[in-house]
Chain A
């Protein structure tokens, strides 16, 4: 095994929850409302159910080979050559996802807090910090997340509570005014971003100490993540209404700006940035970690740590060039990403699961 660190299922579930909170929570409201209008929150709920299905697929597959990661058992299931290609795909996917999230966070930081700072400084520093965490292994990530999470989420809830007085229930009407179809359409991008992206967590399987509780922990994380995502959509809708929400890049940032307590606590969107960046930390870290470990497994290296710096530099460069501007990014996230990510998230794991069942492959009995 490349990383000897162990985390328990609860830590893995926490990681998944933070992963879901990263990047998506800020953009989902506009993506979803542009498709489903005022019923966007229903789309997220439906997507959560789809998300549970996806989790079921890849955990069932992963638990058949509890000592291996997807890059390793793909070779067993699909044969050496096809397996290697699939492995390569699962190195590419987290790498790509990670760069998108980095670019996304840097865009956000630049627009809210540091307008004059070059983006390469923001992304570079962030990646350097994450690389330091990655070198500590999954154990470190699990623990850092465990410390941050209990601080972050209560504040998120507090923000929702503080916004209560600015919310108008009427903005959600008419419920299902355009029928069910837009709602289903809206649920599609949410399913792939962020819920389906959790497919990366199959990479963590060999590092989990009490693997029996894993499926439960992952399911729980998806449900909780779905609830928080719904909450973000509902609160933006209630405060801003569907038409404004769908036109903004970061609608959640705009509603945090609305917060005003006795003229004393105002313009706290920079603090909102802290919350969001701290969950992005987990998301990027998981992607980064999966890439580094994946490359090491693919090449059968003895240690993934030597891959950390090169992968980081590549991610930095790629994040600078991956798209031109915010508009391109939000279009990509809303229209192309769902179709692009679906094979990674559903089709390949499902296919591999079927093949492994048909071929009666099972890694549980063996010691390796």
Chain B
């Protein structure tokens, strides 16, 4: 809570400026005047200095003027040519002259006979024109009409569906989300062909007007959670949303925690899996990372592949992960504690060899470990950030310099290198990157605790982390459930991975409303011997 106070203090001075940033443009909310030339002038003044806006003026018949307005790059030009412009011009030719079209006929005619576009909307204000045009629709203004027509002609460059880069699997679908919202919703729809799957649309961001879709399975999800998600997203007041991380920071329960309380994923199958457990997915335009809430610590420890591999294997792998989480958090600090305070606990032979390798090392264990851990984190970060060809060089330099030369120079002991590398590997076994980075971060205070108070310090640090984790909630669901509070039946998906025919019920915390996954347990039986 202290931290919160400091942050509030730091941000307080900025708060007053915020309101003045985005004044509403008074010109935009005006209705169309009906005077054709005037309206176009007005639009041009709103969109001045925008080279990508196209005004295509034309005549319908002899007298009546019309104009199409669209953003080049966001529209399907062929569609405008074939389905809007061409029919309009042809209709003008066949029209008995010189009578003007009346507005009332116009509306009917346009929609029913002339334009062959699937989605047509109408609007009366400049605001609407601006919004529609900016989102890729084509606006049509006609002389004498105080209404504008909008044709859905959206089409822009997008990445195709590819294998998700951050969550690779050996077995399982290789489709990942893309930056396109509709592609992403379709990837989910394809997996759940039921009208129970809801996709609520929202718009967030004063300037970015980012589309957000809240998706859930009606009848399975707890309505209270959906309402909470809706409310929390509705409260967001920001100029632009560039990635789901923005949303995540706005909607999490405890903003002063290192642990992620919202899960992000690139995998549609993962989202669907969670929807089936009664959770809520949040899909955001322009990013391939969807969010899932609520989430628990143990959800983050599960990869989607766990459910595709054989359950024996998955159970073993889960245990491996649990072991390695503890390793990633505690191994360096335990090593420091043992070397600094409790040498007697090491077996004599091991102690002798460790002591021999540390003979030339000029630093105490804590400094040595800090040096190594920090440089390891630096290497990792460099590997992510650098262009791929250079990244290779960095890893070679890192391995050679830190692994080999530092030991030979007597700056670092060989056991420490081993400890640091095991820790590094351990931290990458966690399926959720945001969680593994939290654990990696916590390692450093733990090392300091171990260096100052030995094993007692490690225990105190662990207790603080445990207390913190049990106090956390994600959308009302305790972060450590089902371990604490203990829900014995839900351990079927935590301690082990129950075979699918054993997962009869959804998790208690989120799936209470509709707990049955299947009617009754069906266990495949081996055929009897008499056959």
Contacts of A15 in B (CB 8 A): none
Q: How far is the CA of A5 from the CA of B463 in the complex (A)?
A: 20
CB distance from B495 to the nearest CB of A (A): 10
A263–B468 Cα gap in the complex (Å)?
Answer: 38
Which listed segment binds B: A135-143, A182-190, A324-332, A340-348? A135-143
Q: Is A302 part of the contact surface with B, judged by Cβ < 8 Å?
A: no
Name the B residues within 8 Å of A146 (CB-CB): 483-486
A173 at the interface (CB under 8 A from B): no
- CB within 8 Å of B: which of A245-272? 263-268, 270-271
Pair A10/B486 contact, Cβ less than 8 Å: yes
Instruction: Output the nearest chain B residue to A261 by Cβ-Cβ distance.
Output: B347
Count of chain A residues with Cβ under 8 Å from any Cβ of B? 36
Find A148's partner among B342, B347, B453, B466 (CB 8 Å cutoff). Answer: B466
Min CB distance B455 to A, Å, is 5
Query: Would you give 22 A-B contacts (Cβ < 8 Å), ordered by A?
Result: A114-B456, A122-B456, A125-B453, A125-B460, A129-B460, A129-B463, A129-B467, A136-B470, A136-B471, A140-B471, A143-B485, A144-B463, A146-B484, A148-B466, A263-B347, A263-B348, A264-B347, A265-B347, A273-B455, A273-B456, A274-B459, A278-B463
Q: A114-B341, A264-B347, A271-B345 are in contact. List 5 more A-B contacts (CB 8 A).
A: A129-B463, A132-B467, A146-B486, A267-B345, A274-B459
> B282 contacts the other chain (Cβ, under 8 Å)?
no
CB closest residue in chain A, given B479: A143
Q: What mask results when residues 24 to 51 of chain B are scored 1 for a CB within 8 Å of chain A, else 0?
A: 0000000000000000000000000000
Question: A335 within 8 Å of B by Cβ?
Answer: no
Smallest CB gap from B344: residue in A? A267
Give Cα distance in the complex from A8 to B478, angstroms. 15
> Which chain B residues lie closer than 8 Å to A144 at the CB level?
463, 466-467, 470, 484
CB-CB < 8 A to B397: which residues of A? none
Given contacts A113-B456, A263-B348, A270-B345, contact A143 B470 (CB under 8 A): yes
Q: Is the CB of B453 within 8 A of A114?
A: yes
* Complex alpha-carbon distance, A271 and B338, angstroms: 11
Binding site for A on B (CB under 8 A): 341-342, 344-345, 347-348, 453-457, 459-460, 463-464, 466-468, 470-471, 478, 480, 483-486
Asked if A147 and B483 sit within 8 Å, CB to CB, the answer is: yes
In order of increasing CB-CB distance, the 8 nearest A-B pairs are A143-B484, A143-B470, A146-B484, A136-B471, A133-B467, A267-B344, A264-B347, A147-B484
In the assembled complex, which residues on chain A have CB atoms less than 8 Å from the CB atom of B463?
Answer: 129, 133, 144, 278, 281
Of B453, B456, B463, which is in contact with the most chain A CB atoms at under 10 Å from its CB?
B456
A11, B485: Cβ atoms under 8 Å?
yes
Decide if A298 is an interface residue (CB 8 Å cutoff).
no
> Does A24 count as interface, using CB distance less than 8 angstroms?
no
Give the distance in Å from the alpha carbon of A117 to the alpha carbon of B471 in the complex: 31
List residues of chain B with CB within 8 A of the CB of A266.
344-345, 347
In the complex, the answer to whether A132 meets B455 with C-beta atoms within 8 Å is no
- Tell me which residues across on chain A come within 8 A of B471, comparing CB atoms: 136, 140
Q: Is the CB of B345 within 8 A of A268?
A: yes
Say how far B319's CB is from chain A's closest CB, in angstroms: 14
By the criterion CB–CB under 8 Å, are A129 and B456 in contact? no
Q: Does A109 contact B (CB under 8 A)?
A: yes
The distance in angstroms between the C-alpha atoms of A264 and B342, with both chains bound, is: 15
Distance, CA A277 to CA B454, complexed state (A): 14
Most buried by A among B347, B464, B470, B483: B470
A318 at the interface (CB under 8 A from B): no
A residues near B (Cβ < 8 Å) are 7-8, 10-11, 109, 113-114, 117, 121-122, 125-126, 129, 132-133, 136, 140, 142-144, 146-148, 263-268, 270-271, 273-274, 277-278, 281
Question: In the complex, what residue of chain B is closest to A110 when comparing beta carbons?
Answer: B456
Q: How many A-B residue pairs have CB under 8 A?
A: 85
Q: Which residue on chain A has the smallest CB distance to residue B466?
A: A144
- For A277, the chain B residues whose CB sits under 8 A away are 456, 459
User: Given the interface contacts A125-B460, A146-B485, does A117 sit within 8 Å of B345 by beta carbon?
Assistant: no
Smallest CB separation, A267 vs chain B (Å): 5
Q: Residue B455 contacts which of A7, A10, A274 (CB distance < 8 angstroms)?
A: A274
Closest to A268 in B: B345
Please report the C-alpha to C-alpha distance between residue A268 and residue B346 in the assembled complex, in whole angstroms. 9
B485 close to A8 (CB less than 8 A):
yes
- Report how far A266 CA is from B486 CA in the complex, Å: 35
Determine if B464 and A132 form an interchain contact, defined as CB atoms under 8 angstroms apart.
yes
Known: A136-B470, A266-B347. A113 touches B483 (CB 8 A): no
- A244-B347 Cα distance, complex, nearest whole Å: 27
In Å, the complex CA distance between A10 and B485 comes to 10
With CB as the reference atom, state the residue of chain B lying closest to A133. B467
CB distance from A255 to the nearest CB of B (A): 16
Instruction: Give complex CA distance A278, B463 in Å.
Output: 8
- Chain B residues contacting A274 (CB-CB under 8 Å) are 455, 459
The answer on a CB contact under 8 Å between B485 and A142 is: yes
Given contacts A136-B467, A266-B345, A274-B455, is CB(A143)–CB(B478) below 8 Å?
A: yes
Give the CA-CA distance A148 to B484 in the complex, in Å. Answer: 10
> Which B-chain residue is minimally distant from A122 (CB atoms)?
B456
Q: Which residues of A contact B460 (CB under 8 A)?
A: 125-126, 129
Partner of B341, one of A113, A125, A147, A267: A113
CB distance from A15 to the nearest CB of B (A): 12
Complex formed: what's the CA distance from A281 to B480 in Å?
19
Instruction: Give complex CA distance A271, B459 in Å.
Output: 10
A124 → chain B closest CB, angstroms: 11
Do residues B342 and A270 form an inter-chain contact, with CB atoms below 8 A? yes
Q: Which residue of A lies closest to B350 (CB)?
A: A264
CA distance A65 to B342 in the complex (A): 50
- A278 lies within 8 A of B485 (CB): no
How far does the alpha carbon of A114 sit from the alpha carbon of B463 in the complex, in Å?
A: 19
Determine whether the beta carbon of B459 is less than 8 Å from that of A278: yes
Residues of chain A lying within 8 A (CB to CB) of residue B345: 266-268, 270-271
State the Cβ distance, B365 to closest chain A Cβ, in Å: 16
| Chain B residues whose CB sits within 8 angstroms of the CB of A10 once the complex forms | 486
User: How far apart sit A109 and B486, CA to CA, in the bound complex (Å)?
Assistant: 31
| Chain A residues within 8 Å of B483, by CB | 146-147
Residue of A nearest to B342 (CB): A270
A106 to chain B, nearest CB (A): 10
- The residue on B at minimum CB distance from A136 is B471
Chain B residue numbers with a CB within 8 Å of A125 are 453, 457, 460
**Complex Cα–Cα for A126 and B97 (A):** 94
Instruction: Point out the residues of chain B lying under 8 angstroms from A273, CB to CB.
Output: 455-456
Cβ of B344: which chain A residues have Cβ within 8 Å of it? 266-267
Complex CA distance for A174 and B484, rounded to whole angstroms: 46
The residues of B that contact A271 with a CB separation of less than 8 Å are 345, 455
Identify which of A8, A109, A140, A148 contacts B456 (C-beta below 8 A). Answer: A109
- Tell me the smallest distance from the CB of B231 to a CB of chain A, in Å: 22
Q: Which residues of A contact B342 (CB under 8 A)?
A: 113, 270
Cβ–Cβ < 8 Å partners of B348 in chain A = 263
Contacts of B466 in A (CB 8 A): 144, 147-148
